[in-house]
Chains A and B, each alone.
Chain A
Amino acid sequence: EVQLVESGGGLVQPGGSLRLSCAASGFTFSSYEMNWVRQAPGKGLEWLSYISNSGSSIYYADSVKGRFSISRDNAKNSLYLQMNSLRVEDTAVYYCARGRRGAGGYYFDYWGQGTLVTVSS
């Protein structure tokens, strides 16, 4: 069974940093692309970042470019999101999501349960 378990969320002051982790199991982690998606309270979904299976290719949404950094450790079956210079508007539930690529495009087929990040003074 595919499982994605996020951790590392919590309360942080504006300007602070936080590192999220996503532990993967039930599939060959090193074969899959991974993503981070967030959801502000009561709001919709926002894709944040993508990393290829090897880590050699990375994309970011403009809203987090230069502040957030995605990485992975295939030996530990883990995905990470380093978040710096946090803002109040970064308050959200952060999901890791497995990506699948096919002829019909790109989609997120499995999601973790999410971890809440609250940025407040």
Chain B
Amino acid sequence: KQEVTQIPAALSVPEGENLVLNCSFTDSAIYNLQWFRQDPGKGLTSLLLIQSSQREQTSGRLNASLDKSSGRSTLYIAASQPGDSATYLCAVGDYKLSFGAGTTVTVRA
């Protein structure tokens, strides 16, 4: 059974600082890894999708890397803004996703 862990559970940074969010998984035979953002009381918004043949994906200030051999993915958010405050979820899988519990980020103005 795939286990997905996200550390830390919560993170608070001043505006402008770069964010580094970690995701680890136990079974390296993954197909996809997807990062989501969830605002309080809202649904999940897809941020980045990394397929197993890829090592990273970038979208604007966001960059996600994937290292299957070590069972890790990292989401980098450059020059954080208060609007980046949210919970970030990592999920791995193909027909079925296994989710981490998320990292709640607060960016202080």
Answer whether A and B are interacting partners.
no
